[in-house]
Amino acid sequence: MTPSDTCYKLIQSFEGCELSAYRDPVGIWTIGFGHTSGVMEGQTVTLAEAEDLLKQDVKNFSGAVEAWVHVPLSQSQFDALVSFAYNVGTGAFSQSTMLRLLNAGNFAEAANQFPLWVHAGGEVLPGLVRRREAERQLFLQKDA
């Protein structure tokens, strides 16, 4: 599957865009729309470069979702899972109860896993609470 514009807009809305490298809430150097690979202190990017990094990252996370999810997904479910994996990382997603429940065909219980992923640095972050609810709602949405 290919991520829709909805997926990109969801990620962009919660990641925001920073053109200078910064440390995220758990101390990871980040730039652009939440890009972390190879980011170093003092690094800067243009908006166009940030958008290119986002496209590249979303492609990678989409591939991971496709590789690990073994049940058919709607476009909305796929988009929600790509956003989720983009935020928590592929390692966490691949080992998650959410993925296990999903691959067992238990979509409702998989959806109920989103609200459990709201901690960073040992604290509940309000932005993650909002993001998980948005991802959960998208996951549960009926595609047209």
DSSP symbols for 41-64: TT-B--HHHHHHHHHHHHHHHHHH
pLDDT at 85 over 70: yes
Q: Which residues are catalytic?
A: 15
- Contact at 8 Å (CB) between 30 and 86? no
Q: Which pLDDT score, from 0 to 100, does residue 63 have?
A: 97
Residue identified by tokens 């200078």 is 20
Confidence of residue 86 (pLDDT cuts 50, 70, 90): very high
Domain that holds residue 57: 5-140
pLDDT at 142 over 90: no
pLDDT at 25 over 90: no
Residue type for position 72: P
Q: Which pLDDT score, from 0 to 100, does residue 58 have?
A: 98
Query: Whole-angstrom Cα distance, residue 120 to residue 29?
Result: 15
pLDDT at 48 over 60: yes
pLDDT tens for residues 108-138?
Answer: 999 999 999 999 888 999 999 999 999 999 9
Total domain count, the chain: 1
pLDDT at 143 over 90: no
**Residue 121 or 12, more confident:** 12
Whether the predicted model's global pTM rises above the 0.85 cut: yes
**Residue 26 or 88, more confident:** 88
DSSP code of residue 114: G
Taking all residues of the chain, what is their mean pLDDT, rounded to a whole number? 96
Q: Which pLDDT score, from 0 to 100, does residue 144 have?
A: 53
Indicate which CATH number applies to the domain containing 121.
1.10.530.40
- Contact at 8 Å (CB) between 100 and 84? no
